[in-house]
Structures are given as structure tokens and as C-alpha cells.
């Protein structure tokens, strides 16, 4: 069984994606899935997540609120992250001009 806290984060994330799909393309997904890439048994790697319209709405409101704060620069950085650690895990590190040495 997957860690409940991790599973809940992914479940929420999928519902954020469902919100974006609905807002941008006026489409509701028929199903939501997580594919566990580290799962050794391939038949256990695919997990269906129940689509919950109420969670889509709640996740969407939260997402829109966070996006609005970012756009309006309405946030503060309380603790500056370790740039070398952040950059090491970033998907865009090969395109970035930040010096990490």
C-alpha cells in the first residue's frame, strides 16, 4: 500500500489538473490515474483515483488563489532555499542561467 500522505498529495494534484482541463478546454476527465514508476510489479503500477467534483472545485479555488498571489507578487519568502539543492532537483536546470557553483 502506498503512503497515505503521499497518495493524498497526488490525488489532490490530479484534481488540480482536472480543474485546469475543465477551465481551459471545457472537458471533464473520465478517469484519473497515477502510474507508480518505481513499482516493480507492472500490474500494480497503475492506480485509478476516483474523480470528485467537489475536490476539483476546492483544488481549483486554491490553485487560482495561489496563482493570483504569485502574479500580484503578494507573498514573502520566509526562508531562502538552498539554491544548490533546489537547482539539483529542478526540471529546468539545463535552461537556467542561475550559477549553482
Tens of each residue's pLDDT in the chain, 101 residues? 468 898 999 999 999 999 999 999 999 998 999 999 988 998 889 999 999 999 999 999 999 999 999 999 999 989 888 877 777 777 777 777 766 55
Question: Is 0.75 surpassed by the pTM of this model?
Answer: no
List, in order, residues 6 or more apart from 44 with CB less than 8 Å away: 36
Q: Enumerate long-range contacts of 35-44, CB under 8 Å, 24 or more apart.
A: 36/2
Phi/psi at 69 (nearest 5 deg)?
A: -60, -40
Angle at 62 between CA 5 and CA 73, to 5 degrees: 115
Amino acid at each position: 500500500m502506498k503512503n497515505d500522505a503521499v497518495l493524498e498529495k497526488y490525488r489532490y494534484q490530479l484534481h488540480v489538473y482536472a480543474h485546469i482541463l475543465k477551465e481551459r478546454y471545457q472537458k471533464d476527465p473520465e478517469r484519473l490515474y497515477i502510474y507508480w514508476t518505481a513499482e516493480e510489479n507492472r500490474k500494480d503500477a497503475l492506480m485509478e483515483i476516483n474523480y470528485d467534483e467537489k475536490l476539483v472545485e476546492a483544488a481549483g479555488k486554491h490553485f487560482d488563489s495561489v496563482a493570483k498571489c504569485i502574479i500580484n507578487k503578494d507573498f514573502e519568502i520566509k526562508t531562502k532555499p538552498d539554491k544548490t539543492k533546489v537547482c539539483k532537483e529542478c526540471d529546468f536546470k539545463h535552461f537556467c542561467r542561475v550559477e549553482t557553483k
